[in-house]
Amino acid sequence: MPRPRARDLGLPFPGTPGPYNAITDVPGVRVGFCTLTDPAKKMRTGVTAVLPRDEAGNPQPVWAGQFTLNGNGEMTGTHWIDDAGYLIGPICMSNTHAIGAVHHGATQWMIRHYADFFANHHGWAMPVVAETYDGMLNDINALHVTPDHAIAAIAAARGGPVEEGSSGGGNGMIAYEFKAGTGTASRRVRLAGQDYTVGALVQANHGLRDWLTILGKPVGKLMTEDTWRKKEVGSIIVLIATDAPLSALSLRHIAKRAAIGIGRGGTPSGNSSGDIFLAFSVANPGPMPQEAQPFVTQTVLNNEVLDPIYLASVEAVEEAVINAIVAGVDVPALKPAGLIVRAIDTDKLAALFRPT
């Protein structure tokens, strides 16, 4: 039985979400999971895959921008995104020691999926793979994740509702000392006479309980049971998707706003936290630069009108983090032995927001 999402608990998040309140509200965006849980093997990990476009045979650039708030982590392919302003293929997330295996699997998938392109060009794959550390709940040094698990997550990608909490790469993750993991949310925006959608997906593994703030309430100071950390040692990956036509520069601006979204939850982005963000737009589909004419024409929104999209991005990220937390369930830790990482008490959380 799925746990209620944050809005189901009566938390009054601002803004208007899409039909699924998920990154999959952005047309064409799909999310897949490969979730690996086996207590006998001390295994609680997995892979999350996000496919920006529904395409086959030949890749189309997905315009993108990236921002790193604190760099104690990894997201591959970002140097090229910074220089070229686009990515191709899936975006995957897993645990820290799975970067290589997931990159290998995503590369295999791209070679097969874009067979025509690789056959007719000097094609090369540069997948985006990001990580957060799940070593408290998973034997991370056992290297449970293989390339086939990445391929399985990509193959499982679907539109519609997104499984939150202990799904895919979020399986072994903790946020604000509560069990957390995968979370998502979306916003609808009316801009320049058109309707657009902004969606966020997070792999939340960050924060100390004392920091946790939800819609302005000091929830972490009011729910202090079962805390154990003295120092933050986690990270958060944020993906922001939209169908608004945006330049790579504007998308980098939007990726920066993820910092405000996670900051609303209370984190100051600790020194040990890898807080790494990526924004992409599915608008302006077209051929790869190798296949394009000398002049490329695109329609993009003027930066001067983007404040509503900035706000939607902040709101969606803020809510996605809380959705990741309220989806959590109690899980025993590997280190230290005997510790149970607790789910947030959703009844107590809901009571904090009831009118008095």
**Active centre residues (catalytic):** 235, 273, 275
Choose among 166, 177, 172: nearest CA to 341.
Answer: 177
Encode 154-165 in three state secondary structure: HHCCECCCCCCE
Q: CA-CA distance, 255 to 276, in Å (whole number)?
A: 9
277's tokens:
């963000």
Q: CA-CA distance, 34 to 49, in Å (whole number)?
A: 9
Q: CA-CA distance, 202 to 321, in Å (whole number)?
A: 7
81's tokens:
């995104």
Q: CA-CA distance, 64 to 102, in Å (whole number)?
A: 21
Q: CA-CA distance, 124 to 268, in Å (whole number)?
A: 38
Q: CA-CA distance, 153 to 102, in Å (whole number)?
A: 10
